[in-house]
Chain A
Amino acid sequence: MNRNDRRRYSSRAWLGLMYALTVLALIPLGLVLWFTIAKGLPSVIHPQFFINVELPPCEPSCPPVLKAGVEHAIVGTAIMVGLASLMAVPAGILAGIYLAEYTVARWSGWVRLACDVLVGTPSIAIGLFVYAFLVVPFRHFSAYSGAVALAILMLPIVARTTEGAVALIPNGLRESGLALGLPRWRVSLQLILPAAAPGVITGALLSVARAGGETAPLLFTALGAHILELNPGNAMQALPLTVFRYALLPYKSLQAQAWGAALVLIVVVLGINLVSRWVLRRQIALAGQL
């Protein structure tokens, strides 16, 4: 074997290794999905799974019927993520418009950096912050404070994706609006924003998916509850909290509930992600036509 053969074969070997590592990287995805479905499905298809919110007097002999529903957790997650979206999405969109429309402003560079840093900030630290800021003064764990913590997580995501979507819109649209004498705010909000809507919606959806799966910021804000709670002024349960707390308990039936809740969570989160990905592809195709 001469030198060139050796080079060629080693190149092939390295390429093969790279492909092997790529496959290796995808294995955890498959495993997580598989085990969540395999272990979660038996509890999810049980009618008791959603509605019954009593905690079972379980050990030492566990009844085969699962008696701790997750209805209150699903409702709690919906309420808190909804409230968080009401706060974070409008603010995030305005911030994103600022980033995209005033790109050259020196301050926007700092805001952009702050966005990216805030995305990487440990969510548990945000939980501590909201605890000190909203829970301590009111002396009450509440869904409001949980929603604020989630909103802080969502804000930079919405802002950055809005910026990306607005930046995709060709400058001609902006300039024709300004040439017709429209003020900046009408150009931005009535011309650019509708054109960028699919991308903006994607960002909002992605942030909702992220917030829906977060546990750490809720630990000291929403705290969790064992009953169905509709008043956001009180402590409230959320799906991720259910998974976290039940999974660590020694009771088999509650562990099964945790797997079921994990399945619900993963279906919702991945569903939102896939839908928003599809919307985004359409947006890019649309912007290409403009």
Chain B
Amino acid sequence: MAVGVKARPVAATRPRDEFRTVVGFVASLIPGLLVLITLTLLQQAMPAIKQFGLAFLTGTDWNPVTDSFGALPAIFGTVATSFLALAIALPVGVAVAVILAEPGKANIRGFIGTGIELLAAIPSVVYGIWALYVLAPWSYQHLEVPVSEHATFIGWLSDPAVRGLFNAALVLAVMILPTLTAISRDVIKAVPRGMKENAIALGATWWETTWRVILPSARAGIFGATILALGRALGETIAVTMVIGNAYVIPHSIFQPAYTLASVIANEFTEATGTLYPAALVELGLVLILVTLVVNIFALLLVRSTSREARLTA
């Protein structure tokens, strides 16, 4: 900094901003923590990483007695529940966002918006107990059994069970809905008004305006919201742990019990003894955090770039 003194005398006379140094330091704790968390997990997982290498990701065995660990069933369960949840939540979330972004009737829209945001405030463990005693038995009786009876010829829709992958996805869908809705609404609202007005002036109906003009121009932002919701779904622990059934296998049907990365850790970590077993569990956590980091950063950059674009074109 001091090198440029001659060229910019103003900078030399300006007092040093110590306040900036202090608050800047405190703020730097946040990225610092993120790095520290990742590195700590990496270090703790080292015994397992050294022992298994990349085979850990493709192994299907999970046996603490023989010290043989593989992450594939947990990875499969995590990915399957999250994508299934997205498939359920995406149409609903976008529909709510479209309705919330419409002008007029501010009271009703405010009420709906508050309701959706309260969905995000409900603790995950409350969703868990509700899903375990209310949602899962209901879905077993009214969704899983009829579907499996009518679709006996489709293998992955057979063998309904009260606790299983599908019910975990169902409760996840409810939990990621607020993320999906809030961001999609903001993105849809950021679509320049002129585009909508042009479409209406050309005689387009409400649906044609929404489907052919608004949603396409909000596409990138909605995609970002979807990815962000995916990140939330991947990392959700407690509610999923309570309903997924905790079976360390790749299930043959979406109704069957499975396991996710986060729930394996939640259930087994306090009981893990020795060196390899806890390290393998931490490695599951490492896989989880690396995936969510990549997913989140990608989604955030996407949402940010689209909202900046919208500001520039508005």
Instruction: Tell me if chain B binds chain A.
Output: yes
Bitwise interface map of B from 225 to 239 toward A, beta carbon under 8 Å scored 1, else 0: 000100110111110
CB nearest to B173 among chain A residues:
A28
B62 at the interface (CB under 8 A from A): no
* A residues near B234, Cβ cutoff 8 Å: 122
CB nearest to A213 among chain B residues:
B123
Binds A, one of B2-10, B50-58, B111-119: B111-119
Whole-angstrom distance between the alpha carbons of A124 and B99 in the complex?
A: 35
A138 at the interface (CB under 8 A from B): no
B77 CB to closest chain A CB (Å) equals 14
Residue total for B at the interface (Cβ-Cβ under 8 A): 82
A183 at the interface (CB under 8 A from B): yes
Interface of A is mostly: helix
Interface size for chain A: under 10, 10 to 19, 20 to 34, or 35 or more residues?
Answer: 35 or more
Do residues A117 and B37 form an inter-chain contact, with CB atoms below 8 A?
no
Do residues A26 and B115 form an inter-chain contact, with CB atoms below 8 A?
yes
Do residues B289 and A122 form an inter-chain contact, with CB atoms below 8 A?
yes
* A residues near B174, Cβ cutoff 8 Å: 28
Do residues A129 and B19 form an inter-chain contact, with CB atoms below 8 A?
no
Q: Taking beta carbons and an 8 Å cutoff, which residues of B are in contact with A?
A: 17-20, 22-24, 26-31, 33-34, 36-37, 40-41, 43-44, 91-93, 95-96, 98-99, 112, 114-119, 121-130, 132-135, 174, 177, 181, 205-208, 210-211, 228, 231-232, 234-238, 242, 262, 265-266, 269-270, 282, 285, 288-289, 292-293, 296-297, 300-301
A and B contact pairs by CB, cutoff 8 A, 22 listed: A7-B208, A29-B118, A29-B119, A99-B27, A107-B24, A117-B293, A117-B296, A120-B296, A125-B288, A129-B36, A132-B40, A132-B44, A152-B33, A155-B33, A184-B17, A184-B20, A185-B22, A216-B124, A219-B266, A219-B270, A240-B123, A247-B242
The 8 closest A-B pairs by CB, nearest first: A213-B123, A122-B235, A11-B205, A185-B19, A114-B31, A21-B95, A11-B207, A98-B23
10 further contact pairs, Cβ within 8 A, besides A31-B134, A117-B296, A265-B123:
A25-B181, A102-B24, A107-B28, A118-B34, A121-B34, A122-B285, A213-B124, A240-B125, A247-B129, A262-B130
